[in-house]
Amino acid sequence: MVQYNFKKITVVPNGKDLIDIILSRTQRQTPTVVHKGYAISRLRQFYMRKVKYTQQNFHEKLSAIIDEFPRLDDIHPFYGDLLHVLYNKDHYKLALGQVNTARNLISKIAKDYVKLLKYGDSLYRCKSLKVAALGRMCTVIKRISPSLAYLEQIRQHMARLPSIDPNTRTILICGYPNVGKSSFINKITRADVDVQPYAFTTKSLFVGHTDYKYLRYQVIDTPGILDRPFEDRNIIEMCSITALAHLRAAILFFLDISGSCGYSIAQQAALFHSIKSLFMNKPLIVVCNKTDLQPLEGISEEDMKLVMEMKAEAMKTVMGQGGEPANEEAVLVTMSTLTEDGVIAVKNAACERLLDQRVEIKMKSKKINDCLNRFHVAMPKPRDQKERPPCIPQAVLEARAKEAAEKERRKTEKDLENENGGAGVYSASLKKHYILANDEWKEDIMPEILDGHNVADFIDPDILLRLEELEREEGLRQAEEEDDDFEMDGEELNAEEKEALAEIRKKKSLLIQQHRIKKSTAESRSIMPRKFDKNKEFTSERMGRQLTALGLDPSLAINRARSRSLSRKGRKRERSSDNHGDAMDVDMDTPSKKLRARSRSLSLSRSRSRSRPPSEVTPGDGFKDSAQKVKAIKIAKKSVKKRNKDARKGEADRVIPSLKPKHLFSGKRSIGKTQRR
């Protein structure tokens, strides 16, 4: 049995890509180093090898294209006519012929230039001949670029064609557009054909598979056909005509008796009579679809007469096969794909008719005689009228009865689940099948072992009672501690101590409030700027008054605060210039945070940015004084003057190594990694 698989055809490169592929392969697979000092025979052989190798690669590529594409005269007539309908076999053959001609031309070019290379007298002459040969080969390929592009489009389209076996059991569905053909194939097979309420939804052949009596059947859904002359039919309709003409299949002609497809029964009958010549010698069944909208008995007499004529034509096809139909209902069948009423009956009738026809054809063939001679069916003849029933031993009967009783008596887990509440309620026990000495042990709790010890041995059964006792005892202790809390009420203190206690409590509450205020700001309000201290609350005078009230000397604290608030800049100017003291009068009571930060950063930067003179001697330089260091610096500069004048590379110059050393990047590339050559 021939299988046509057009998906295996290799991709056809366009002209430019094909040239790049071949020339790149020639460059990589042939020697690349040649010198004019070589013997002339070696030079000729070098370039002849390149020309022959290029011609061989072109020949292989083009031969693969020609051989993989099917020849329309050698394949099944169904595929031959289908490809002619889709692609026009004249253009198809012309494209393959151009590829074949290009292959022959390239072979001739290589042959001619190899002859010329045999008489090359120099390296330049041989190289020029090689360039001319490869250039002419590439020119030939460029000329057939349109043919290669056309063949690539055909290959892509052929890869999308359905895999139809013309010789297997096939059921073919045909009829007007929108009569229910695609819905039927979706019901009886696993195919997923698009179904829409408008005509010509199916634009190509679709294939599905179904089973009947353990045999696989191929079901083909064809596009809709209109009743018009053969010359006016388009490519979509011609696909259906090709399948009807060449496939040996059971034909299902669908008839929409409700008229919802947009075509009357008279128009559908006219189509039936115009293509009935394609139904000869094939099982034909007329299928009346959409009976849910209009029953067959409810149509008019004229339409019923047309349906009966189609039925009579279908009966003629049966008679032409030399067979007698078992019943006339197998020729005219009603169904509805919407309600699935009669769908399986139509499928079974078509499969049965097709099977009978194939068996009958095989019985009429010459091969059946060879098969009949090989076997003989023996039929025993009765000796007398005595009945002899089969004798079955009693033990076998008892064993069968016992086995049947066990099957009836045994309950499965599914039965137990249904009896005990169903899924989600019943949980099957995995322990009931354990094999133990005592069945009562099956439901025992498995011991938990931790570090070689049984966890159950360390569990106190009265732990909950003891926990309650501990909680009760803890509650009593907390109550006693609350009663024993000591609170100083001031009754044991004298007048001065009471006054001090009140002052401390007041101060404590004040500190808590101030701390809360500080925490409420983003910068914790470490320093109060002067513009926010409108009421002059945070001043050195106020601090002095508070310290005096507490009996302390505030002078040291005030002086320390003023000295810390002064900036480095302010202090320096104050010391250096006494005459302008009035101009540099700064309120030291409320120092600015920015001023202090600036003065601190200024002092740090000055201390860091101070540079030493070159002559200054630091410990560890190895000089006894600055004069000796200056002399050494002069001698060092004088020693490098000549080298700098010549622009020579010194120890301080940046080294730029050779990124492509010649010993690694010259010569022919050998096997292995690039960096390991």
| Contact (Cβ atoms closer than 8 angstroms) between residue 330 and residue 353 | yes
What angle, 0 to 180 degrees and rounded to 10, lies between the N-to-C axes of helices 145-159 and 89-117? 130
What angle, 0 to 180 degrees and rounded to 10, lies between the N-to-C axes of helices 89-117 and 40-68? 170
Question: How does residue 245 score in pLDDT terms, banded at 50, 70 and 90?
Answer: confident
C-alpha dist (Å) from residue 56 to 102, 104, 208: 13, 11, 44
Chain Cα centroid distance, residue 306 = 56
H helices of 521-625, in order, are: 540-549, 555-565, 568-576, 593-609
DSSP at 336: B
Residues 548-601: tens digit of each pLDDT: 888 778 888 888 777 766 544 454 444 444 444 444 444 444 445 555 555 555
**Mean pLDDT across 615-631:** 84
The DSSP bridge pattern shows strands 453-454 and 449-450 to be antiparallel
Question: 3-state DSSP call for residue 483?
Answer: helix
Residue type, 657: P
C-alpha dist (Å) from residue 99 to 3, 284, 382, 452, 486: 26, 45, 76, 83, 113
Computed over every residue of the chain, the mean pLDDT equals: 81
What angle, 0 to 180 degrees and rounded to 10, lies between the N-to-C axes of helices 123-143 and 40-68? 10
| Contact (Cβ atoms closer than 8 angstroms) between residue 308 and residue 288 | no
Chain Cα centroid distance, residue 153 = 27
| Contact (Cβ atoms closer than 8 angstroms) between residue 181 and residue 221 | yes
Name the nearest CA neighbour of 529 among 600, 587, 603, 584.
587
Name the nearest CA neighbour of 140 among 51, 45, 19, 307.
19
Name the nearest CA neighbour of 129 among 141, 143, 112, 106.
112
Residues 95-131: tens digit of each pLDDT: 999 999 999 999 999 999 999 999 998 999 999 999 9
Residues 397-452: tens digit of each pLDDT: 999 998 888 777 777 888 888 888 888 888 888 888 889 888 888 888 888 898 88
d(CA 614, CA 626): 9
Tell me what pLDDT residue 537 has.
67
H helices of 88-217, in order, are: 89-117, 123-143, 145-159, 181-188
Tell me what pLDDT residue 572 has.
47
| Contact (Cβ atoms closer than 8 angstroms) between residue 273 and residue 242 | no
| Contact (Cβ atoms closer than 8 angstroms) between residue 265 and residue 259 | yes
Task: Report residue 433 as tokens.
Answer: 């099948």
d(CA 429, CA 416): 11
Name the phi and psi angles at 437, rounded to 5. -65, -35
Question: How does residue 304 score in pLDDT terms, banded at 50, 70 and 90?
Answer: confident
Range of lowest pLDDT (234-238, 480-484, 508-512)? 480-484
Tell me what pLDDT residue 532 has.
63
Tell me what pLDDT residue 371 has.
76
Tell me what pLDDT residue 575 has.
46
Task: Give me the sign of the Cα torsion angle 561, 565, 571, 574.
Answer: negative
Residues 20-78: tens digit of each pLDDT: 999 999 999 999 898 888 999 999 999 999 999 999 999 999 999 999 998 888 888 88
Spatial strand order of the sheet with 284-289 comes to: 206-212, 215-221, 170-175, 250-256, 284-289, 332-334
Share of the chain above pLDDT 90, in %: 21
d(CA 225, CA 22): 48
C-alpha dist (Å) from residue 469 to 459, 462, 466, 476: 18, 11, 5, 11
| Contact (Cβ atoms closer than 8 angstroms) between residue 89 and residue 136 | no
Range of lowest pLDDT (84-98, 167-181, 496-510, 646-660)? 646-660
**HEC string of 194-237?**
CCCCCCCCCCCCEEEEEEECCEEEEEEECCCCCCCCHHHCCHHH
